[in-house]
Structure 1
Amino acid sequence: MRRRLLVLVGSMVSLALVAFLVPLALLALTLAADRATADALVRAQSLVPVASVGTPAALELAVQQANSGGGHPLTVYLSNGTVLGVPAVRSDAVKLALTGRSLTAQAQGGREIVVAVTGRSAGTAVIRVFVSDADLSRGVRRAWLILALVGAGVLAVSLVVADRLARSQIRLIAGIAQVSHDLAAGDLTARAPAEGPEELRRVAGALNHLARRIRVLLAQEREAVADLSHRLRTPLTVLRLEAEGLPEGEQATRVGAAVDAMERMVTQVIREARRSRQDEAGECDAARVAADRVHHWSMLARDQDRPVVRDLAAPPLHVGTGEEALTTCVDALLENVFAHTPEGTGFTVRLSPREGGGAVLTVADQGPGFPHARALERGVSGGSSTGLGLDIVRRTAERSGGSVTLANEPAGGARVTVEFGPRPS
């Protein structure tokens, strides 16, 4: 935009300067020629009185004095063929003037002014003054140089003003674009300043209105999700009462633990729905959380005859995500193993420090592997699940500054590698 505006202003100013300066340049050339012609005519008419009544000797003396003072060359032609002053060829203009007619004519190398002097007893005399091309254009180059400098100055000032204007407009447009990027990144408090021309102010106002509407709609969506999740507390309470009514033993313990896990998940959903992006940062001990969740799922693995290999780093191993979010990630990964592999299929859980801070969590199983490469996409599932588990894991990892990698083992089975970033400094 800046370059286009400069080109447009430069083109318009250049056209205006050409339309204005070219006639002035031609006028300067015409005025210089007219001034030189007028001076030559005055020089010739100064000899008319002497040529009219004076003797040839007096006329010759006057011509010599006029030429000795410099100026345009002066020549006098008498009717008897005598030539006084600067020698010059008798041109057609001089021959015409001998008939009694004064005129100005173009000659080789300049212009000649011939004045016919009649009324002499010895016949008509012709006074000729020659004006060279240099005299006709004297001062024109200087005038043209001044006009060129003025034109260049006007063009330079115009480009500077246009550049300042373009910079101010680009700055406003770049500010609006940055606000849109901030909104896309999740900063719903970003607002565009209402500055500049009316059109840009209208764009900024529309963008700010959109930001406010997005914020309201997200708040409404969070409350709606929180309300729906809160409704799950009633059936959870019933399940808890049923679990408490079971005879004491391993089955009652397992059902109670499952109800506790479900209640924690519902609580997390409610908090997740109601918190903003500024509340997403957190930290926890990944080693402790992973050990707790692997121990929880190991009881179900023992019932299904699933071999479990655990290789967990010793605590503390801090990561840049909250405890509830990390618990959900581990549960989602282990739940996928139980949901998508047959009973008796073993799995491995490894947790190690990440280079640069954070942790690396790897869950590998000996099942059929991932059916396609789109398993990380939200809502995509190779089985009968919702396809949201791995997407939750991905978003949690990326939120902490990490990533998720899926792979199929060469010997069969799936491997999920989750990198969690370090805790905030």
Structure 2
Amino acid sequence: MRRRVLLLVAATTTLVLVAFLVPLAMLLRNAAADQAVQRATVQAQALTALVVTTDREALDLAVRQVNARTDQDVTVFLDDTRLGVAVDPTPLVELARRGRSESASVPGGQEIVFAVQRPGSTTAVIRTFVPDADLTKGVPRAWLLLGGLGLLLLAVSLVVADRLARTFVKSTVDLAAVSHRLGAGQLDARADETAPGELGVVAGALNGLATRIDEALREERETIADLSHRVRTPLTSLRMDAESLSEKDGERIIAGVEAVNRAVTDVIGQARRRGVAPEAAVTDAAAVVTARVAFWAVLAEDTERALTVDVRPGPLPVPLSQADLEACVDALLGNVFAHTPHGTAFAVRLDPVPGGARLVVADSGPGLPAGPVLRRGVSGSGSSGLGLDIVRRAAERTGGAVELSPGRRGGLTVTVTFLGSR
């Protein structure tokens, strides 16, 4: 932006200077030529009285003195005599002999002739010649001064424009920096509303937006905290009831309650961290997938589902928190139990890939439902449609992706790739 402002000011100033200095330069040249011609005319006219009143010797002396004092060439043409600078009669001299005084531009300068009527004689002609050097005397120096003045004015305009451009650019850069800080979660960042012109208006709007986002996040945290408090009370009662059951059933229900409790705790933590720059987290995918498959294996046994597990030995680090990765695995396995009939076999496989890991969950159920099932809130089987969206967002945060495809023996295969770059 700064460079563009300087180019614009330079172009505008140059056009103004050219429009002003070029006519002024031509005016100076014409004025210098007019002054030289006027001086020559005055000197030639001074000889007019001498041509009429003095004799030839006195007139010759006067012409010589004029030529010695000036750079002009003065010649007086009498009947058959030529006084002063020896030049041949020119067409303009012949015209003056017929009684007309004229001036004209000739090669090398300006020629001026005066017709003087002598008593009892033919018309005498006073000729003066002004060379080009006199016509342009002082013009090159004046032009150099004008050029220097133009360059000085251009330099001053560029300095002033640079100072103004720095002000605008600095305000723009500061505004962008505040936007980046807000995007990184620093909601206390504020822009300078005293920035010049419309930038100050934008800064005020950005500050208002940041304040509104901060208020909305605070309300969200309060709402989630209240909701979590309401959920934990029945969870505590459910845990106490589970402790009174048989050891096998009690342990399974307590494990489920603990999982729900951990999920609620994680939601509260995420709500409290909302608006704060996220911290880097790395989790061993092999350990998490093994643990969650072991949890779901009990339910698979109860529903007579054949489970095949192929988890490569870890560690297989992925840039997700343990809670987020557990939520992904639970969403995928939960979909198998929710959308396939009892007795449907499924398989879980975790393989290493360059920089991350690939999780594959395949079942032999009814297959992929129609519609954009990866879009949040969209489901082809009557569910909330949030499970696969949770998986998709988690994978995309690592730079990976989710792929849905039909299995080789029917059913659905979900392939989730977690990469090592955010």
Same fold (TM over 0.5): yes
Superposed counterparts of 1:20-419, under 5 Å:
20-45=20-45, 47-48=47-48, 50-64=50-64, 66-67=66-67, 71-78=71-78, 80=79, 82-85=81-84, 86-89=87-90, 90-96=93-99, 105-109=103-107, 110-115=109-114, 125-133=124-132, 135-159=134-158, 161-194=160-193, 196-246=195-245, 248-276=246-274, 277-356=276-355, 358-371=356-369, 374-399=372-397, 401-411=398-408, 412-419=410-417
Find the aligned partners of 2:369 and 2:80 in 1 and give their Cα distance: 121
Deviation at 1:192, TM superposition (A): 2.8
Verify the 8 A CA contact 2:362 2:407 in the aligned structure 1.
no
Q: Deviations over 1:26-80 (max 9, x none)?
A: 32122211221133134425545653443213323543565577722222133x4
Find the aligned partners of 1:360 and 1:49 in 2 and give their Cα distance: 117
Find the aligned partners of 2:262 and 2:105 in 1 and give their Cα distance: 111
Mark the CA change 1:217 to 1:10 in structure 2 (over 3 Å): closer, same or farther: same
Mark the CA change 1:157 to 1:271 in structure 2 (over 3 Å): closer, same or farther: same
Find the aligned partners of 2:15 and 2:314 in 1 and give their Cα distance: 77
Verify the 8 A CA contact 1:51 1:59 in the aligned structure 2.
yes
Find the aligned partners of 2:75 and 2:421 in 1 and give their Cα distance: 106
Q: Deviations over 1:185-228 (max 9, x none)?
A: 54434433446414322322321231122122112112212212
Verify the 8 A CA contact 1:346 1:365 in the aligned structure 2.
yes
Task: Report the counterpart of residue 100 of structure 1 in structure 2.
Answer: none
For the residue of structure 1 that corresponds to 2:98, the secondary structure is helix
Mark the CA change 1:280 to 1:397 in structure 2 (over 3 Å): closer, same or farther: farther
Find the aligned partners of 1:13 and 1:335 in 2 and give their Cα distance: 72
Find the aligned partners of 2:226 and 2:353 in 1 and give their Cα distance: 38
Query: Structure 1 counterpart of 2:98, which letter?
Result: K
Deviation at 1:285, TM superposition (A): 3.5
Deviation at 1:308, TM superposition (A): 0.9
For the residue of structure 1 that corresponds to 2:369, the secondary structure is coil
Deviation at 1:108, TM superposition (A): 3.9
Verify the 8 A CA contact 2:76 2:83 in the aligned structure 1.
yes
Verify the 8 A CA contact 2:369 2:381 in the aligned structure 1.
no
Deviates more, 1:324-333 or 1:364-373: 364-373
Q: Deviations over 1:314-365 (max 9, x none)?
A: 3544443332222222211110111122222222222334423x44332222
Deviation at 1:118, TM superposition (A): 6.4
Verify the 8 A CA contact 2:97 2:124 in the aligned structure 1.
no
For the residue of structure 2 that corresponds to 1:278, the secondary structure is coil
Mark the CA change 1:279 to 1:70 in structure 2 (over 3 Å): closer, same or farther: closer
Q: Normalised by the size of structure 1, how large is the TM-score?
A: 0.83
Query: Structure 2 counterpart of 1:211, which letter?
Result: A
Q: Deviations over 1:227-248 (max 9, x none)?
A: 12321123323333333343x1
Mark the CA change 1:402 to 1:366 in structure 2 (over 3 Å): closer, same or farther: farther
Deviates more, 1:383-392 or 1:109-118: 109-118
Query: Structure 1 counterpart of 2:182, which letter?
Result: L
Q: Deviations over 1:287-327 (max 9, x none)?
A: 33222211110011011111111122335444433322222
| Structure 1 residues without counterparts, runs of 5 or longer | 98-102
Query: Structure 2 counterpart of 1:404, which letter?
Result: A
Find the aligned partners of 2:337 and 2:330 in 1 and give their Cα distance: 11
| Structure 2 residues without counterparts, runs of 5 or longer | none
Q: Deviations over 1:132-186 (max 9, x none)?
A: 4554234434533543443244335434543553354234224323433443454
Provide the alpha-carbon RMSD of the alignment.
3.3
Q: Normalised by the size of structure 2, how large is the TM-score?
A: 0.84
Verify the 8 A CA contact 1:285 1:317 in the aligned structure 2.
yes
For the residue of structure 2 that corresponds to 1:96, the secondary structure is coil
Verify the 8 A CA contact 2:391 2:402 in the aligned structure 1.
no
Mark the CA change 1:189 to 1:361 in structure 2 (over 3 Å): closer, same or farther: farther
Verify the 8 A CA contact 1:375 1:382 in the aligned structure 2.
yes
Q: Deviations over 1:366-388 (max 9, x none)?
A: 22333357333221222222111
Q: Percent identity?
A: 51
Verify the 8 A CA contact 2:193 2:204 in the aligned structure 1.
yes
Find the aligned partners of 2:32 and 2:239 in 1 and give their Cα distance: 111
Query: Structure 2 counterpart of 1:17, which letter?
Result: L
Query: Structure 2 counterpart of 1:24, which letter?
Result: L
| Length, aligned pairs only | 415
